[in-house]
Amino acid sequence: MPSTAPTQAKGIFGLFCLASYLLSLSYGTTFLLAMMLRAHGGSESDAGSIISAAMLSTFVAVIFSGHLTDLFGAPRAIAAGALLLAAACLGFASVPAYGAAVLLFGLLLGLGWGVFYTLGPIVVAMIIAPVQRVKYFALLSGSMMTGIGTGPLLGRAAQGLGYPLESAFMVAAIASLLGGLMFLLIGPKIKGQGPVTVCKITPRAAAVVLRSKAVLAIMMVGLGGAIFGGLSSFQTSYAALNQLDYSWFFLGFMGAAIFCRLLVAGFIVKRDPYVMSCLLTALIVVSVLMLMFFVSSGLTYLLAAVVLGVGYGLTYSVINGLAANEAPPGYMPQALVLFSMGYFVGVFGFPWLAGQVIVHFGMAALLWIILAVALCNWAITLGRLAWRRSQKLAQVCSA
Query: What pLDDT is stored for residue 127 in this prediction?
Result: 65
User: Per-residue pLDDT for 393 more than 90?
Assistant: no
Whether the per-residue pLDDT at 293 is higher than 60: the answer is yes
pLDDT averaged over every residue in the chain: 86
Q: What pLDDT was estimated at residue 195?
A: 46
What 8-state DSSP symbol labels residue 328? P
For the ranges 41-50, 202-211, 284-293, the maximum mean pLDDT occurs at: 284-293
Q: Assign 192 a pLDDT band (cuts: 50, 70, 90).
A: very low
Task: Give which of 380, 359, 375, 364 is closest to 284, Cα–Cα.
Answer: 375
pLDDT at 366: 96
Task: Give the separation between CA 384 and CA 389, rounded to whole angstroms.
Answer: 9
Give the percent of the chain with pLDDT over 70.
Answer: 90
Name the more confident of 131 and 229. Answer: 229
Domain borders along the chain are 6-194+201-398
Instruction: Name the DSSP class of 194.
Output: S
- pLDDT category at 125 given cuts 50, 70, 90 is low
The rounded Cα 163 to chain-centroid distance in angstroms is: 28
What's the pLDDT score for residue 72? 77
pLDDT at 47: 87
Distance of CA 117 to the CA centre of its chain: 8
pLDDT in the model for residue 194: 46
Cα 95 to Cα 92: distance, rounded to the nearest angstrom: 5
Which ranges of 326-362 does DSSP label H, i.e. alpha helix? 332-344, 350-361
Greatest CA span in the chain, whole angstroms?
73
Using CA atoms, how far apart are residues 208 and 220, in angstroms rounded to an integer?
18
Cβ partners under 8 Å of residue 385, min gap 6:
274, 275, 278
Helix H, strand E, coil C: the string for 68-80 is HHHHHCHHHHHHH
What is the model's pLDDT at position 284?
97
Mean pLDDT in residue range 372-388: 94
Which of 222, 248, 264 has its CA nearest to residue 348? 222
Of the listed ranges 118-127, 222-231, 314-323, 365-374, the least confidently predicted one is 118-127
3-state secondary structure of 319: helix
Q: Is the pLDDT at 70 greater than 80, yes or no? A: no
CA distances to 13, 58, 81, 175 from 184, rounded to whole Å, are 14, 22, 12, 14
**The pLDDT value given to residue 394:** 77
- Quick one: fold of 6-194+201-398? Growth Hormone; Chain: A; (1.20.1250)
Contact 135, 93 (CB under 8 A): no
Q: How confident is the model at residue 228 (pLDDT cuts 50, 70, 90)?
A: very high
